[in-house]
Amino acid sequence: MRTVRQAQQLALGQIVTPAAAHVWFDDAGFEANTPYNIKGIVAPRQIIVVYGPPGSGKSTLIVDLAGRIAAALQWRSRRVRRGLIVYVASEAGASIMLRVIVWRNQYLSEVRTERLPFAIVLRGPDLRNRVEVEGFVEQLAAIAAEAGMPVALIVFDTLSRSAPGADENSPEDMGEIIGACDRLRDATGAAVALVHHSGKDATRGARGHSALAAAADTIISVVERVATIEKSRDGIAGERFPFELVPVVLGEDSDGDTITACTIQHVEGEATTPRPTKALSGVAKVGMQALKEAIEAHGEAMPGTSTIPRGVRAVKIDAWRAQFRLRYGSDGAGEERDADAIRKAFRRARELLATAEAVAISDPFAWLT
């Protein structure tokens, strides 16, 4: 028989034995020293989903979260415990590098002597391939040994590029992805964060099968420069954290053009409510989505002119038109539309979006307002 003291220790997680598979009602207790990396936001062994539409700032947000864990810096007055970060930048390795450099320059001292425990992996595993996942487990162990500390957070940016060819609406494919996350959690004790896209309607949640939302411990949506905790097993659902994206000039490339990247600037106080906008439909809706995708793929921060705000991410109208052509090139029956019809539709979409003040245009650039 256990003593009362042993029962208390068991309830607090201080004794773990094969026989400790149950706790009696009268012996139930709570964990006074709950483990966390960012209190109420990131905890060990969690699955975290951070999702939003293209250009929403979700990758910049997760770089900030990860950087603060690696550097043990408070996140919006939340307590932070230091840990090793492994960031798998499968979708945009070069741009993640720039964001990391900007964050490092902003928050870390140039005279520090200690290496930040933050490793960037440019080519990660296919999460549906068990052999590759097991190889990644070995890679994580090597990174942890080199850093001299266990992995605290593994980030996959993005989920779609970390499971190429997967049908995100398939319960089988999504189940394999979740199983890989479980394997990584079990092997390392770390949290696993998946940076993901929202569906066509951002208000209906993350893209793909609902199994992901069911498995996630924490879900953070990033829309209109506001991060919202939609689900939290350990924190408070409904919390909203507004922020701004601030462009920073890092230098010049070999052609003399400026190299810029965005960093995050937290906005104190309650999140502001975005001004209501008229619902888009038809060619305007297609045009808006095409512009978002073009900016995500080809956008650049503007240096600022008399007609273009400094720092806004804009794209050349030709790139927008090309993306529109991809989206609008065939009708509902799969028949190809002729070039003249596509040209007229794009012109109409531009007019509707400009009238609605959803986009701004200063030839040859266009951007979201």
The rounded distance, in Å, linking the Cα atoms of 85 and 104 is: 14
Q: Judge if 239 and 101 occupy the same domain.
A: yes
Q: Judge if 52 and 148 occupy the same domain.
A: yes
Q: Tell me the angle at which helices 317-328 and 282-298 cross, rounded to the nearest 10 degrees.
A: 130
pLDDT in tens, 142-156: 999 999 999 999 999
Q: Judge if 92 and 21 occupy the same domain.
A: no
Question: Going by C-beta distance under 8 Å and a sequence separation of 6 or more, which residues neighbour residue 9?
Answer: 15
Task: Please check whether residue 347 lies inside any domain of the structure.
Answer: yes
Task: Please check whether residue 261 lies inside any domain of the structure.
Answer: no
Q: Judge if 115 and 195 occupy the same domain.
A: yes
Q: Judge if 29 and 52 occupy the same domain.
A: no
The rounded distance, in Å, linking the Cα atoms of 168 and 101 is: 32
Q: Judge if 58 and 18 occupy the same domain.
A: no
Q: Judge if 142 and 28 occupy the same domain.
A: no
Task: Please check whether residue 187 lies inside any domain of the structure.
Answer: yes
Residue 54, domain CATH: 3.40.50.300
Task: Please check whether residue 41 lies inside any domain of the structure.
Answer: no
Residue-level pLDDT at 19: 47
Contacts 24+ apart (CB under 8 A), 71-76: 71/107, 71/108, 71/116, 73/107, 75/38, 75/41, 76/241, 76/266
Q: Which of 51-60, 104-113, 298-307, 354-363 holds the top average pLDDT?
A: 51-60
Domain count, the chain: 3
Q: How confident is the model at residue 333 (pLDDT cuts 50, 70, 90)?
A: low
Q: Judge if 13 and 88 occupy the same domain.
A: no
pLDDT in tens, 253-311: 888 888 888 888 898 765 444 444 456 778 888 888 889 888 888 888 877 666 677 67
Task: Please check whether residue 309 lies inside any domain of the structure.
Answer: yes
Q: Judge if 182 and 69 occupy the same domain.
A: yes
Q: Judge if 233 and 299 occupy the same domain.
A: no
Task: Please check whether residue 267 lies inside any domain of the structure.
Answer: no
Range of the domain at 84: 47-247
Task: Please check whether residue 256 lies inside any domain of the structure.
Answer: no
Q: How confident is the model at residue 203 (pLDDT cuts 50, 70, 90)?
A: low
Three-state DSSP state, 317: helix
Q: Where are the alpha helices (DSSP H) in 12-129?
A: 58-71, 93-107
Residue-level pLDDT at 279: 64
Q: Judge if 134 and 216 occupy the same domain.
A: yes
Does position 314 have pLDDT exceeding 50, yes or no?
Answer: yes
The verdict on pTM exceeding 0.75 is: no
Q: Judge if 139 and 105 occupy the same domain.
A: yes
Q: List the beta bridge partners of residue 366.
A: 315, 361
Tell which of 224, 247, 270 closes a domain: 247
Sheet of strand 300-301, all strands in order from the earlier edge strand to the far edge? 300-301, 313-316, 365-368, 359-362
